[in-house]
Amino acid sequence: MSDSVKYLLDEKDLPRFWYNIVADLPNPPTPALHPGTGLPIGPDDLAVLFPRAVIEQEVSTEREIEIPGPVRDIYRQWRPSPLYRARRLEKALDTPARIYYKYEGVSPAGSHKPNTAIPQAFYSREEGVRRIATETGAGQWGSSLALAGAFFGLDIEVFMVKVSFRQKPYRRAFMESFGATCIASPSDLTAAGRAVLTDNPDSTGSLGIAISEAVERAVARDDTKYALGSVLNHVLLHQTVIGQEAMAQMEMADDYPDMIIGCTGGGSNFGGIVFPFLGEKLRGGRDVEIIAVEPSNCPTLTKGAYAYDYGDTAHLTPLVKMHTLGSNFVPPGFHAGGLRYHGMAPLVSQVVAEGMASARSYHQNECFEAGLQFARAEGIIPAPEPNHAVRAAIDEAVACRERGESRAILFNLCGHGHFDMQAYTDYLEGRLHDQDYSETELAMALSGLPSVESC
Ligand SMILES: *Cc1c(COP(=O)(O)O)cnc(C)c1O
């Protein structure tokens, strides 16, 4: 086995196709339903929100979808991204496990999100769209779409959850640097925002509310579309460049993962690294254990219902079958803003529900502890979200030590934490608390799930 710590592919090895797991799943995905009629939606229903090319990808059953040349040209700026063997972390843990991580923090926005922002902006421009409205929680998605908008000459309007807008002024500055407009949500620009503010003028917002605002803006204007940074099939599709590269890099390392770990907010970085390997397994290839990791305070996969639900608070989005805590569930405060969504990608939900992956949850303090242990060994400060994956990888490596077992563990380090240093300061000063979500509020949110005939 090679001694390297870093596995780099050539530019010519940049994937030419996105991989669509739908072609290999044992069961077809469940259809999305129209929020008004409850009937399966067709491409026409979505055309007001998304470009045609994106809608085709959303419902595609083709195994491989070609990546357009102009998208590959931009990917090439930071892709293929590196895969590292965490030798110093292995040593610190005194584990016989072989730990690998794929690092997506090398993108200009510092996370995996540009992998989908670039193609979504590209297809919009191709179809004559002038403006894209979107939402952002922690700011990673808004930053990525702002970047993509600058590349393709589009106006980007970002509704940023108010609590993050206040906590993360540099994320806002990042978006504005690329020419995007950033609005604190709830805002008085939309009926959805005004309704929330009338009820609660002090609302600090939520992703569900911000989505409602962005969707309303897209519906209101012909030249404006909407873009989502996670959850939907086409987003997970675009992220599969991560796993395809990782497969080639594991081959360079003359190794294969026994286990793949990803953190799950809406499921896109997880699907991105996992699906190419899972597809290989489903086609009769090597076995691999797959673990999704989420915050204990927003435990979508581990405590949610697997049911049809809305993607937003105002119920403007289609209904999809997914693990959900209910569209009105508001998790208590914690720092991994990217993991605060009430739902989960339908494809990730299906993979977990059908036993192809397991899920577990951690509280934030134990995740920051793992993140710092990783940083001190490997020199990269992870974003609070992938600290969940780091926690699980370290726990698994320690379990290997206790069992005297050498397994290959691969996890996705989907972003760096350079915009999240306040969270690290809070952790280091002992100011982070592991609050629990309220069981009563979760039960109430779940009791509000829509009843849908066809499921
Ligand atoms: C957005 C984000 C997440 C959560 O989204 P997924 O779709 O689950 O990947 C996790 N980590 C980082 C760094 C993010 O930017």
Taking the centre of ligand 1 as the mean of its atom positions, its distance from the CA of residue 280, in whole angstroms, is 24
Enter the tokens of residue 120. 């979504």
Q: Is the CB of 239 under 6 A from ligand 1?
A: no
Give the pLDDT score at 455.
Answer: 45
The reply to whether 102 falls in a domain is yes
Here the tokens at position 389 are 């994956």
Q: Is residue 375 included in any domain, yes or no?
A: yes
User: What are the C-alpha distances in Å from 395 to residues 90, 271, 390?
Assistant: 12, 22, 9
CATH of the domain at 79: 3.40.50.1100
Spell 404-442 as b/e; 16+ CB within 10 A means b: eeebbbbbbbbbbbebbeebbeebeeeebeeeebeeebb
pLDDT on residue 372: 98
In a domain, 101, yes or no: yes
| CB distance 267 to ligand 1 below 6 Å | yes
Residue 130: count of CB within 10 angstroms of its CB: 14
How far, in Å, is the centroid of ligand 1 from the Cα of 414? 7
Q: Which DSSP category does 111 fall into?
A: B
Residue 385 lies in a domain: yes
* Lookup: tokens for 48: 């007001």
| Residue 422 placed within a domain | yes
What pLDDT does residue 334 have?
76
Quote the number of domains for the chain.
1
Which residue matches tokens 């915050």?
Answer: 295
The conformational region for residue 254 under phi > 0 = left, psi -120 to 50 = alpha, else beta, is left
Give this prediction's pTM. Answer: 0.97
Q: Which DSSP symbol is given to 219? A: H
Which residue's CA is the closest to the ligand 1 atom numbered 2? Answer: 338
Which atom of ligand 1 is nearest the CA belonging to 415? Answer: 13
Tell me how crowded residue 62 is: count the other CB atoms within 10 A of its CB: 13
Residue numbers of the domain that contains 274: 5-14+68-110+234-454
> What is the 351 CA–ligand 1 centroid distance (Å)?
18
**Minimal CA–CA distance to 374: which of 94, 7, 83, 90?**
90
How many angstroms does the Cα of residue 141 sit away from the middle of ligand 1?
8
Identify the pLDDT of residue 1. Answer: 53
Helix (H, G, I), strand (E, B) or coil at 248: helix
Does 304 map to a domain? yes
Quote the pLDDT of residue 31: 93
**Spacing, Cα 222 to ligand 1 middle (Å):** 30
Which of the listed residues 116, 300, 339, 351 should we mutate to test ligand 1's pocket, taking the one with most ligand atoms within 8 A of CB? 339
**pLDDT by residue (tens digit) across 52-100?**
999 999 999 999 999 999 999 999 999 999 999 999 999 999 999 999 9
3-state DSSP assignment of residue 205: coil
Distance between CA atoms of residues 147 and 119, nearest Å: 12
Q: Phi/psi class of residue 355: alpha, beta or left (left: φ > 0; alpha: ψ in -120 to 50)?
A: left
* Contact in structure between 356 and 270 (CB atoms under 8 Å): no
Q: To which residue do tokens 């590959």 refer?
A: 72
Is the CB of residue 383 less than 8 Å from the CB of residue 417? Answer: yes
Is ligand 1 within 6 A of the CB of residue 272?
no
Q: List Cα–Cα distances, 187 to 161, 163, 165, 203, in angstroms.
A: 10, 13, 12, 10
Query: Is residue 432 assigned to a domain?
Result: yes
Any atom of ligand 1 within 6 Å of the Cβ of 51: no
Residue at 146 is within a domain: no
Low-confidence stretches of the chain (pLDDT beneath 70):
1-3, 453-455
- Tell how far the Cα of 1 is from the centroid of ligand 1, in angstroms: 32
Q: What does the angle CA 329 – CA 204 – CA 111 come to, to the nearest 5 degrees?
A: 80
